[in-house]
């Protein structure tokens, strides 16, 4: 990725920079892979920056929300209500009411008590709520433990054993209609075998339902496709073909069944960069620290998950040395990367933290009374 460094030099750091040309290319790459029965609902939790959302709306995608706030953000951004799905283990009444009023496509329901409340609230609004059941397929994705969601011990979804009962139960309810099954096994998944396992598990479940005479019109396989954090310039666009081909090859859809995806990270991660400036170089007792003006408040993934984001000095190419790259926050975990080889850096140099488009800006906090940073796109600079 090339950065408009002269423009960057005039801006207050830290800030988020989004390359919408790369975003558009990424969206186009996905569209190339879509078939008429495929539907992508962008996972809003990855990034709700309106400048980013505009491109995703223009590409014709729907949205996947997990809160009333996200539903409002996607209505404001112009996503059509009938392409919105709403997941989450703890939907509040006002959030369900907002979704009903908006007329969303589908609630991804995670428990029987939740189903009862949706039925009741839909009744009050004289509506029928479309629901899909989020089934916990007990598949372990090979990713960070904090971001796997499809194992039996996770809080998400309804167990496979309860699936038939709950589907049959909706038939007796007057204000809900069951239109599908929903799955999501985790995030930052790079091993397609995990999606093979998911597909085979869905095939089994569909057969089980069929033995009760049930065929549902929609299958939603969630999100989770990972990106290359190590080499963002080598792989700016994830391997969408491999991902979609996996489902096409292994998932047995019934005639007219629609296939839904909830991609988040793979759409927006690589187009976003957190841009920061070097404040100080500090020689500690055993380590040399590169202290920058962005911290875990602007990009919490390294502190929270031990995640790696490539760090680049945009203004120096002079030799190489080893630093711990750290932020200014009063927390020992405010470290981006340890023992990192990077050109010799000076106060004022611009530092890029790459692949920050997903779960970067959206997870920012004001801890230490910091202000939330600005964002810019290549179109503006
Ligand atoms: N659908 C559901 C039901 C989800 O729970 C998630 C993510 C997605 C879709 C989108 O997954 P993606 O395609 O982005 O992998 N903050 C963490 C990631 C948490 C993901 C939570 N669920 C991180 O920074 O790695």
Q: For each of the domains in the chain, give its residue range(s) and CATH number, in order of start.
A: 5-14+270-377 (2.40.37.10), 20-268 (3.20.20.10)
Q: How confident is the model at residue 156 (pLDDT cuts 50, 70, 90)?
A: confident
* CB-ligand 1 contact for 185 (6 Å cutoff): no
* CB-ligand 1 contact for 221 (6 Å cutoff): no
CA distances (Å), 253 to each of 65, 150, 197, 247, 351, in order? 25, 21, 15, 10, 47
Q: How confident is the model at residue 286 (pLDDT cuts 50, 70, 90)?
A: very high
Whose C-alpha lies nearest to ligand 1, atom 5? Answer: 184
Over residues 2-57, the pLDDT tens digits come to 999 999 999 999 999 999 999 999 999 999 999 999 999 999 999 999 999 999 99
- pTM value is 0.96
By CB atoms closer than 10 A (0-12, 13-18, 19+), residue 32 is exposed
Is the alpha carbon torsion for 30, 31, 37, 40 positive or negative? positive
Out of 156, 183, 265, give the residue to mutate to test ligand 1, the one with the largest number of ligand atoms within 8 Å of its CB: 265
* CB-ligand 1 contact for 273 (6 Å cutoff): no
The total number of residues written for the chain in this structure: 381
Residue 31: how many CA atoms within 13 Å on its side-chain side?
Answer: 13
Over residues 253-284, the pLDDT tens digits come to 999 999 999 999 999 999 999 999 999 999 99
* CB-ligand 1 contact for 195 (6 Å cutoff): no
Secondary structure element (H or E) that encloses residue 101, with its range: helix 93-102
* CB-ligand 1 contact for 136 (6 Å cutoff): no
DSSP 8-state secondary structure symbol assigned to residue 337: E
Secondary structure element (H or E) that encloses residue 261, with its range: strand 258-261
Dump strand ranges (E) for 14-157: 15-18, 38-43, 62-65, 84-86, 106-109, 129-136
| Mean pLDDT for the chain overall | 95
């Amino acid at each position: 990725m090339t950065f408009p460094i002269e423009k960057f030099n005039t801006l207050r750091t830290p800030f988020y920079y989004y390359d919408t040309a790369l975003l558009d290319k990424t969206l186009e790459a996905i569209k190339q892979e879509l078939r008429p029965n495929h539907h992508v609902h962008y996972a809003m939790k990855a990034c709700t920056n309106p400048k980013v959302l505009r491109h995703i709306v223009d590409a014709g995608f729907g949205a996947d929300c997990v809160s009333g706030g996200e539903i409002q953000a996607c209505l404001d951004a112009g996503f059509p209500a009938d392409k919105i799905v709403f997941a989450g283990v703890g939907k509040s009444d006002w959030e369900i009411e907002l979704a009903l009023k908006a007329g969303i496509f589908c609630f991804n329901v995670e428990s029987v008590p939740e189903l009862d409340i949706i039925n009741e609230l839909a009744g009050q609004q004289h509506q029928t709520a479309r629901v899909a059941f989020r089934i916990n397929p007990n598949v372990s994705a090979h990713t960070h433990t904090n971001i796997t969601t499809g194992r039996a011990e996770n809080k998400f979804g309804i167990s496979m054993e309860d699936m038939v009962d709950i589907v049959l139960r909706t038939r007796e309810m007057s204000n809900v209609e069951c239109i599908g099954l929903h799955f999501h096994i985790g995030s930052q998944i790079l091993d397609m075998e995990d999606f093979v396992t998911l597909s085979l598990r869905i095939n089994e479940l569909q057969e089980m339902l069929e033995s009760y005479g049930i065929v549902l019109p929609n299958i939603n396989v969630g999100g989770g496709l990972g990106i290359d954090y190590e080499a963002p310039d080598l792989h700016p666009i994830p391997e969408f073909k491999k991902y979609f081909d996996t489902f096409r090859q292994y998932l047995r859809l019934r005639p007219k069944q629609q296939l839904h995806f909830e991609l988040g990270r793979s759409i927006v991660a690589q187009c976003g960069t957190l841009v920061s400036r070097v404040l100080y170089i500090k020689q500690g007792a055993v380590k040399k620290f590169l202290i920058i003006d962005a911290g875990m408040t602007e990009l919490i993934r390294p502190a929270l998950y031990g995640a790696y984001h490539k760090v680049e000095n945009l203004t120096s190419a002079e030799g190489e040395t080893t630093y711990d790259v750290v932020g200014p926050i009063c927390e020992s975990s405010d470290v981006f990367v340890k023992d990192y080889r990077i050109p010799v850096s000076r106060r004022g140099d611009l530092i890029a933290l790459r692949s920050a488009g997903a779960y970067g800006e959206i997870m920012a906090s004001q801890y230490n009374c910091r202000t939330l940073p600005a964002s810019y796109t290549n179109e503006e600079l």
